[in-house]
Amino acid sequence: MSVAIRRATAEDAGTLSTLAARTFTESFGHLYPPQDLADFLREAYAVERQHLILSHPDYAVWLLECDACPEQGRRGEAIGHVAAGPCGLPHPEVAPGDGELKRLYLVRGMQGGGHGSRLMDAAMDWLLRDGPRTLWVGVWSENPGAQRFYARYGFGKVGEYLFRVGATQDLEFILRRPAG
């Protein structure tokens, strides 16, 4: 299997929209009523919204693409992504200039092969390109694997909030990695 990571551009908005909806659904779709999930995906991962994010200088997204992954289908298919930007989490200690890992997902069957770490490293390098700063990430409270993954990067729990998908509210943990 041959994979490569590249920074996404505004021209990748359609690819990112499709990939983000697919990976969110594969990971969490079973938790929500179908209409709530459909409404969330339509809003959160709309092509126009992805285009705005990819065009904004304060945000960055990387795509993990498979050059030779027959189990995933087409050659050159995007099989993972990570997004980063300014922190928007609802925590009283978030300060201007803090960064946030917005999301990191791989398609089903691609976890556990080091691909998530490669994506995380790309996002961390970008977030810390101007030197140390406080970083944040929100993670589902019932996803201990993701919590352990982020802990390896120095993130620890500092709060909680409710994440809405339609009428469903999920308890999310807020994790922080101090600048120092």
On whether the pTM is more than 0.85, the answer is yes
Give the chain's mean pLDDT: 91
Give the DSSP per-residue string, the chain.
Answer: --EEEEE--GGGHHHHHHHHHHHHHHHHGGGS-HHHHHHHHHHHT-HHHHHHHHH-TT-EEEEEEESS-GGG-STTEEEEEEEEEE-----TT--TT-EEEEEEEE-TT-TTSSHHHHHHHHHHHHHTTTS---EEEEEETT-HHHHHHHHTTT-EEEEEEEEEETTEEEEEEEEEE---
CATH classification code of 3-177: 3.40.630.30
Instruction: Write down the pLDDT at residue 14.
Output: 95
Residue 170: pLDDT over 80: yes
Mean pLDDT of 60-70: 80
Average pLDDT on 76-89 reads 92
Q: pLDDT tens digits for 112-165?
A: 666 689 999 999 999 999 999 999 999 999 999 999 999 999 999 999 999 999
**Residue 69 pLDDT:** 54
Q: Identify the residue with better confidence: 111 or 33.
A: 33
Domain spans of the chain, in order of start = 3-177
